[in-house]
Amino acid sequence: MGIVKSICRIADHLINKVGFACQIMLMLTIMAITGKAAAQQISALTQMIPIDHIVAVVNEEVITRTELNDVIQNTIRQLQKQRIQLPPFDVLEKQLLERLILTRAQLQRAKELGISVNDSELDKTMRNIAKENKLSMGEFYAALEQDGIGLSQFRDEIHNEILMTRLKEREVNSRVNVTEGEIDNFLRTQKTSSIGNDEYHVAHILIQILEQMDSTQIEAKRQRAETVMRKLLEGVEFAQASAEFSDAPNAMQGGDLGWRPIMQMGPSFAEMLVSMQPGDVTPIIQSPVGFHILKLLGRRPQETPVVIINQTNVRHILVKISELISEDDAHRMIMQIKDRIDNGANFAEMAKAHSEDTSASKGGDLGWLSPGDTVREFDQAMDALLPGQISSPVRTQFGWHLIQVIERRSQDVSDDQQRQTARKAIHARKAEMVMQEWLQQLRDQAYVEYRAEDI
């Protein structure tokens, strides 16, 4: 019996390391060596211990069958909740494993770069999610439980989403530049184009092609896109086709891109969408990143509002606090300057002589300021003054200030707003392309080993 116990201890260790098929082989081997009694003990042991194994290795980290199963179950619940027809299980499994691999690669990269999320940031995000859904925190937790999602699991998912968002902003934004010339061209095109300025609600299927693919591989991808198109023409729901075939990150959400200005969609997409009706689907469109199929879900006008704000022309004198100048000394100095101005000294000349701000050479003139251009304490003091008035000393993070309002005006900043909107649209269009390329580079650079025979 001592041998049997020893073998059982070894089996206990091995069962945690091997898959189900290996467990069966192990049990048969032990039966041959030790007889039926030992085999019964091993059989009972396999029923007690959850079966788990590694399905993939990403660099030095593993993805287990349990992790993959959890993602599959959550995705199935999500698709069912959205009433999206489930794709074949093997297709769903492979797509979700690839997403897990890409997620793991992103989190590893974020860790390498020292990107982090603290608990207060995570708590704030959780509160915002509850608020957006018009739920108290208690109601929010109850809703998660009803959906079969544990609180700690949800916090982990949000933590990872924030990390990946910050990583993408860091990696992608540094590669995207929008010039003033591009903004000028964008606005000219917007004024002269028949496309208009409406917003479009669009769903999207992407069959991705990679930079290193040869013509044969690209043709295989084209055929895959044609298969998707055939299924759509046969009546398969767009959301179902997205979940089954799309390589886009939002494939499991039916490919929904939300509402976007038409000019943000890119010329080749915009020209097709403008003549479509809600429910229509585009033919296959090829771009540098792959083959696209779009479905128009909705359309609404986007008016360009007239934006008028109150601006203030202001000047100031700043005395900074430093290792050489204490808080009391700085306050005493600003009070002395204030006394001299009250006794007839010229504000601009005093600014040139005593202010430690870069505006000193201009007599402290900061030009026309819009709401929010300065820190809160400065804004509040400035707003309380009449033209010509001089404030009492004002303390901000920069030091002690004297503030004089020169003039106020109401200004139409619609053109500035239009340029800012154009900048965002151009940036979003470029960033989407760069994002796909960067994610593929990250995936290509990762060491990935598939371990499960059934994947």
Residue 453 within a domain:
no
271 and 294 share a domain?
A: yes
| Same domain (yes/no): 294, 436 | yes
What pLDDT, on a 0 to 100 scale, did the predictor assign at position 453? 58
Per the DSSP assignment, residues forming a β-bridge with 203 are 256, 295
**Whether residue 338 sits in one domain with residue 238:** no
CA-derived radius of gyration, the chain: 32
Contact 51, 23 (CB under 8 A): yes
Structural domains of the chain, count? 4
Q: How confident is the model at residue 20 (pLDDT cuts 50, 70, 90)?
A: very low
Per-residue pLDDT, averaged over 93-111, amounts to 93
Question: Is pLDDT at 15 greater than 60 in this prediction?
Answer: no
CA atoms of 99 and 118, how far apart (whole Å): 25
* CA 408, 412, 415, 419 torsion-angle sign: positive
> Do 264 and 329 sit in the same domain of this protein?
no
The parent domain of residue 153 ranges over: 57-173
Using the 8-state DSSP alphabet, how is residue 390 labeled?
A: B
* Percent share of the chain, pLDDT over 90: 46
User: Is residue 451 domain-resident?
Assistant: no
**Residues whose CB is less than 8 angstroms from the CB of residue 132 and which lie 6 or more positions away in sequence, other chains included:** none
Residues 385 and 319 in one domain: yes
Q: What is the pLDDT of residues 272-329, one digit of tens each?
A: 898 899 999 999 999 888 999 999 999 998 766 677 889 999 999 999 998 888 999 9
pLDDT tens digits, 190-211: 776 666 678 899 999 999 887 7
310 neighbors 408 (Cβ within 8 angstroms)? yes
Q: Is the pLDDT confidence value at 378 over 90?
A: yes
If asked whether residues 363 and 327 sit together in one domain, one would say: yes
Q: Supply 33's token pair.
A: 């060596």
Q: Are 181 and 422 in contact (CB under 8 A)?
A: no
- On whether both 190 and 120 belong to a single domain, the answer is no
- The pair of three-digit structure tokens given for residue 388, joined into one six-digit string: 């010509």
Q: Examine the pLDDT at 117 and tell me if it is beyond 70.
A: yes
Same domain, 283 and 349: no
- Per-residue pLDDT at 151 exceeds 70: yes
Cα separation of 262 and 259, whole Å?
Answer: 9
Looking at residue 327, its amino acid is E
pLDDT digits (tens, 9 = 90+) for 225-278: 999 999 999 999 999 999 999 998 888 888 999 998 887 787 788 888 988 999
Beta bridge partners of 275: none
Q: Which of 151, 173, 195 is the last residue of a domain?
A: 173
The answer to whether position 186 is within a domain reads yes
> Roughly what angle, to the nearest 10 degrees, separates helices 137-146 and 151-173?
100
Q: Give dist(CA 296, CA 258) in Å, integer.
A: 10
What is the rounded average pLDDT for all residues in the chain?
84
pLDDT > 70: percent of the chain: 86
Q: Is the pLDDT of residue 342 over 90?
A: yes
> In terms of pLDDT, which residue wins out, 391 or 271?
391
Do 295 and 314 have their domain in common? no
Q: What are phi and psi of 344, to 5 degrees?
A: 115, -5
Q: What is the CATH number of the domain that holds 329?
A: 3.10.50.40
